[in-house]
Amino acid sequence: MKRLIKVAAFCSLLAVSAMQAGAEEGNRHVEIQTNKGNIVIELYAEKAPESVKNFLRYALAAAYDDTIFHRVIPGFMIQGGGYEASFRERTTLAPINSEADNGLKNLRGTVAMARTSDPHSATSQFFINLKDNAFLNFRSRNINGWGYTVFGKVTAGMDVVDAIAMVPTSSARGHNDVPVTPVVIKGVVIK
C-alpha cells in the first residue's frame, strides 16, 4: 500500500512537472550533481522537443535524485537515470516516441535517450557518449535503423564524465558494467 501511494504521488508530481517543462521555450541547461562532481548539459529543445520535455519532467519531479550511473563502459558511454544503488528500478511514465531522425549525431559529450530494442521505448534513462558513436545514429525509419535520440550536450564537466568512465566495474544483480562503488546522481538542477 505504501508503495502504491508513493507511485500515485510520483505520477501526480510528474503531471504538474510536465506542464512546467512544456511551458519553457528555447534551450535550457541542467546540472547533474553526482558524488563525483557536476555535469552541465545544454538541452536541445528545438531539435528534440519531446525528449527534452520528458527529461525535464523527471528532473522537476526529482525522479533522478539518488539514482545511479548503473552502466559504465570506457570508450563507449555512461548510462543512468533508472536505478537506485540497491538496483531497485524507479517508476517511469509511458515511453516516448523516438526523435533520433532530428539530425543530431551521437558524438563525444552528447546526451541521448536509452531504450530497449524498440525504438519508441525510451522513458527516464539516458546516456552520455564518451566518443563519437556513429553506429548509434539514425539511418532509417525501421527497427534496425532508428538509432538513439540525441537531446543535449555536455557543456561543462566532461572531466567528471571521463572520471566516471574510469571507475572499476563488475557484474551485479544480473547487470554488467556496474560501478563497484556507486556513482550517485544526487539531483538534477534546471538552470
What pLDDT, on the 0 to 100 scale, is given for residue 146?
96
Helices and strands per DSSP (H, E), number in the chain? 3, 10
What pLDDT, on the 0 to 100 scale, is given for residue 172?
85
Q: What is the C-alpha separation between 32 and 13, in angstroms, rounded?
A: 20
**CA distances, 11 to each of 1, 5, 22, 90, 179 (Å):** 15, 10, 16, 12, 30
Whole-structure pTM value: 0.89
- Residue identified by cell 536509452 is 114
Q: What is the C-alpha separation between 165 and 77, in angstroms, rounded?
A: 7
DSSP secondary structure string, 113-142?
A: E---SSTT-B-S-EEEESS--GGGS---SS
Classify domain 2-190 by CATH number.
2.40.100.10
Domain boundaries, the chain: 2-190
Task: Split the chain (191 residues) into runs of 10 and give each run's mean pLDDT.
Answer: 48 51 68 98 98 98 98 98 96 97 98 97 98 98 94 98 98 92 97 91
